[in-house]
Amino acid sequence: EESGITTPSNLEEQAILLVGRELYEKLIKGYTEKQWGRDCKDLPAFIIKRVPLRFTYNNNYFDDPYQGIPDGGYNHLIENLLGETEVLLNCDFLEHRVELEKLAEKIIFTGSIDQYYDCCFGPLEYRSLRFETHHLNISDYQGNAVVNYTDRETPYTRIIEHKHFEPGLSTDTTVITREYPVEWKPGMEPYYPVNDSKNQQLLEQYCRLAAGEKRVLFGGRLGEYRYYDMDKVIASALNLAEREL
């Protein structure tokens, strides 16, 4: 009522509608603007809707009843899932697509959907990350796996302390990684799709091409050009497999 906002037209208005101006400016504005490299007024409202809002004393980021990572890490899980499947690494599909396409009755493409079509309508935009990792001769740096820095002045968005992902791991040293958001350029790793109106209109053009494909399925953050959390991208993959099989 205080904001006077009824239909938010951008991320700033959506955030103020959800939590008020004070919390928006303390926790959301600075973090979001350095993460996306854009003013909050220039970002779509739906981006902030994935941030959980609840009126309890639960201070975890996620509200899921079960949370965890695989024993031994994700490499161990993926290796077991693949089993005896032939795997070819360090091979750019788009550079070898003619010979690779001959091998398959159906292809699941998890690269960037615009690059599959040679960016014929123009390139989709992403945000990328730069990582700065330090091995420290102390047993504990921050006491948590992840600490976010929500102010605009700190150049990194968060610090990861890896040992805390595996509870009970006690060592005399620790490894931390600082994450710096950067504008994506060709050749860099694309992490976050920029789902503003311009890119969404571009995506729709590529999706119309993809809908006409008989042998190719597009999936994942890049193939669908969607920002997915880990559980959501796994759910998307399982749903795709169920539809196909």
Which residue in the block uniquely carries the two structure tokens 């993926």? 78
Let me know if 158 is a catalytic residue: yes
Helix, strand or coil, per DSSP, at residue 69? coil
Given the residues 63, 189, 229, 231, the one annotated as active site: 229
Let me know if 179 is a catalytic residue: yes
Given the residues 1, 2, 22, 54, the one annotated as active site: 54
Helices (H), 137-216: 197-211
Given the residues 38, 158, 178, 226, the one annotated as active site: 158
Given the residues 21, 50, 152, 208, the one annotated as active site: 50
Which residue in the block uniquely carries the two structure tokens 């990792």? 133
Let me know if 229 is a catalytic residue: yes
* 217 membership: H or E segment, kind and range: strand 216-218
Given the residues 12, 13, 179, 224, the one annotated as active site: 179
* 160 vs 142: CA distance, rounded Å: 9
Let me know if 127 is a catalytic residue: yes
54 and 62 Cβ atoms separated by less than 8 Å: no
Let me know if 118 is a catalytic residue: no
Given the residues 156, 191, 192, 227, the one annotated as active site: 227
Helices (H), 103-156: 113-116
Given the residues 127, 161, 206, 221, the one annotated as active site: 127
Residue 193 burial (CB count, 10 A): 22
43 and 51 Cβ atoms separated by less than 8 Å: no
DSSP label at 229? -
Residues forming the active site: 50, 54, 127, 158, 179, 227, 229
